[in-house]
Structure 1
């Protein structure tokens, strides 16, 4: 680590085990820590869903962890910033049929954006959090060299995908104490430190929703508009939905159609139609070529080689080998055409694609659309039905026949 020792560190705490352990490890190492809890909860409209505010438990646990070692805790209110920079963007993206990633935006625009701006006058050496990732800073003698974002030791928990759109200026101010620790080690350390939240479950789902179901959030802020579900291959009318914005390409859960599994394969935004298929993984449906815009390289510089990289198209331990070909779009913006080494289950426009060179995350961009076959092939009958103005003429949905199992001959 460059810089003086001990360090003056601003530690983001959420009330969970990971951020609590990050705080305690820094404190145990002798650094001067101040904890910060970000209040970004904007869903006062949902207060009738529970008897208490959804963030109160989180703040209670964060305070209990800080009180154990007399670390000061401050609450920073970023509600307006969160609405303006994250939530409003998410709503507009869903209205356009895309699938944004709020966790990536939360890191770039709020946790390591608006929060860093809010404490800029406090002269902290670094900002720390409980993310599973590693940042390698240049030595004191080479401070002009870029800081590097690397995969964490725990490949399942690794969160570099969510951090892949940060700027070099943001990286230089960050440290992640859990980057060299496995999740099960964090749990064991939490017990040895006797943390008040040592047995607390990890939070799941979108960062700002808390206990609210995603469908409830979408219904409240975008509304509902009944449309139809059509089978892509034959145009059969299978049922109704509440609005195309509730669905994403590759989605399997929540369709409530018998005889599955069914997958969302395309969405007709203009006519509010969702196309589904049971043949999503058939070998002739290539899903390995797509375009990426809004590119950001963590070093601040274009990567030296783009032909032997790895790519993540969602959070998780899985990678594809990939190559990039750079183009300029009609607006003069740099766009990457990405070719994966294998077919993906669902390349959703609006999601992020993160790029890696070995264990180093080099940057990311937003998926624009899939190019293979110009999307999933929809039969002409289905396209004609989608264009019908009066869809009540369709009558009742067809009775779905159970898909026959393939017979296997044994020798």
Structure 2
């Protein structure tokens, strides 16, 4: 498997970077295994040649998974069984570790707090930062000692070493349609030198082909969509899931006349947390009146008045912004002085881009202003080349130069 993998990636070089490094034969290699095909193939790549390979499965949630069917097998149990079967097939041990408390305290509760405050959080980024590459790394450091193991994950991104400096950088995956670098943009860069993301060098059909060629039972297992416990919640919808944790806080749904500033009330909402900017609102408007006929969308969540402001048509100007602030912004592996220099040069070369969602088309940046904060963090004010729809406070804004991730931070303001 290793030779087949090496031949696939041998020509997939990134300008200015070396091909992905590999461990020495007797190094400790720990593979984070989820029970899915990507992490299973990551384990298979190393299991045949390297004698000290182990899998580790993280259970981060075990509350009721299916509120309408309590007898349904929770997804974490099924995934743990799948990971064990893969380990048995590859002849590697798979350890089990429970990080539920860490997940609740560092991911789930902060997510609820942000929703309650009218923001739109991204729990996947925090899960990677605080659990998958936070609590797990701390656990492995205590068990093996720092720098005495490699951590392997099935994420679609790449950790490659720059030719000139030999520094390890986080890059987009080879398969741009599966790229997960946005979700890894807050991970501590000091673990990059011992982190391997082999799947980021492949495209999905190659991953499934490798899984089939080595006889993995989960070769055709569907990709997970979103958060496991949300998929299996009462109606399979995030809004319904959140109702079990956030209280209803009824307020008005209003329109505001752009010329007269007149406000009209059209209905009630059950909580600002249940809507996001740019979302279509299923509300009955007087279709006989041309001023109100059409589809309406959320343009603002006013936390002070607890009002949901709506506008007509999905291309309404109120849904678009050209400027935003990100802060604190956490640079990856560089200080703020180096970050400013890189961004300044990239602005000239027109290679500095923003993403505020995963897999969106990168957005070119026109201007970038810096304000230094403490702890090697900075506040950024960006002006984009073109207006963008539904940039939402609470989302992460991630900066790239070509393939390289520079870091990310929470969007605090748009205008």
Shorter chain as denominator, the TM-score bin is: 0.7 to 0.9
TM, length-normalised to structure 2: 0.81
2:330, 2:378 within 8 Å by CA — same for their partners in 1? no
Q: Which shifted more, 255-264 or 160-169?
A: 255-264
Residue in structure 2 matched with residue 339 of structure 1 by the alignment = 383
* Shift in Å, 1:223: 1.6
Relative to structure 1, the CA distance from residue 222 to residue 35 in structure 2 (aligned partners, 3 Å threshold; closer, same or farther) is: same
Among candidates 50, 57, 65, match of residue 78 of structure 2: 57
1:292 aligns to 2:335 (yes or no): no
Which residue does 1:230 correspond to in 2? 254
In 2, Cα distance between the equivalents of 1:148 and 1:99?
28
| Structure 2: runs of 5+ lacking an equivalent | 1-20, 286-292
1:134 to 158, 181, 185: 158
Tell me by how many angstroms 1:284 deviates.
Answer: 7.6
After superposition, what is the alpha-carbon deviation per residue over 1:193-219, rounded to whole angstroms, capped at 9, x for unaligned? 222112211111236534123123321
Deviations 1:133-163 (A, max 9, x none): 0101368xx9x85311111111110000001
Residues in 2 aligned to 1:367 and 1:75: alpha-carbon distance in whole angstroms: 36
Question: RMSD of the TM alignment (CA)?
Answer: 2.6
Which residue number in structure 2 is paired with residue 91 of structure 1?
112
In structure 2, the residue matched to 1:214 is: 238
TM-aligned CA distance change 1:208 to 1:296, over 3 Å: farther
Q: Distance in 1 between matches of 2:410 and 2:379?
A: 10
Q: How does 1:2-401 map to 2 (within 5 A)?
A: 4-30=24-50, 32-44=52-64, 49-51=69-71, 52-123=73-144, 124-137=148-161, 145-206=166-227, 209-212=230-233, 213-233=237-257, 235-252=263-280, 255=282, 260-282=294-316, 286-302=320-336, 303=339, 304-307=341-344, 308=347, 309-322=352-365, 323-328=367-372, 334-370=378-414, 372=415
Secondary structure, aligned partner of 1:178: helix
Equivalent-residue separation in structure 1 for 2:65 and 2:202 (angstroms): 39
Deviates more, 1:110-119 or 1:41-50: 41-50
Consecutive unaligned residues of structure 1, counting only runs of 5 or more, are 373-411
CA contact (8 A) 2:160 2:168 kept: yes
2 CA distance for matches of 1:73 and 1:179?
22
Of stretches 72-81 and 54-63 in structure 1, the one that deviates more from structure 2 is: 54-63
| Residues 137, 147 of structure 1: 8 Å contact kept | yes
Structure with the higher strand share, 1 or 2: 2
Between stretches 120-129 and 60-69, larger displacement belongs to: 120-129
Give the drift of 1:306: 1.8
SS in 2 for 1:191: helix
Superposed CA deviations along residues 163-221 of structure 1, whole A, max 9, x for unmatched, are: 11112212223110111101122122222222211221111123653412312332111
Task: Provide the C-alpha distance between the structure 2 equivalents of 1:130 and 1:64, rounded to a whole number of angstroms.
Answer: 17
Q: Larger deviation: 34-43 or 185-194?
A: 185-194
Cα distance change of structure 1 residues 317 and 194 upon mapping to structure 2, 3 Å threshold: farther
Following TM superposition, by how much is the alpha carbon of 1:28 offset from its aligned partner in structure 2, in angstroms?
Answer: 3.7
Distance in structure 1 (CA, Å) of the matches to 2:134 and 2:229: 16
CA distance in 2, matches of 1:2, 1:196: 26
Q: Distance in 1 between matches of 2:196 and 2:275?
A: 36
Looking at structure 1, the residues matched to 155 and 363 of structure 2 have their Cα atoms a distance apart, in angstroms, of 23
Aligned length: 367
Query: Relative to structure 1, is the Cα distance of residues 7 and 153 closer, same or farther in structure 2, using a 3 angstrom cutoff?
Result: same
Give the TM-score normalised by the residue count of structure 1: 0.82
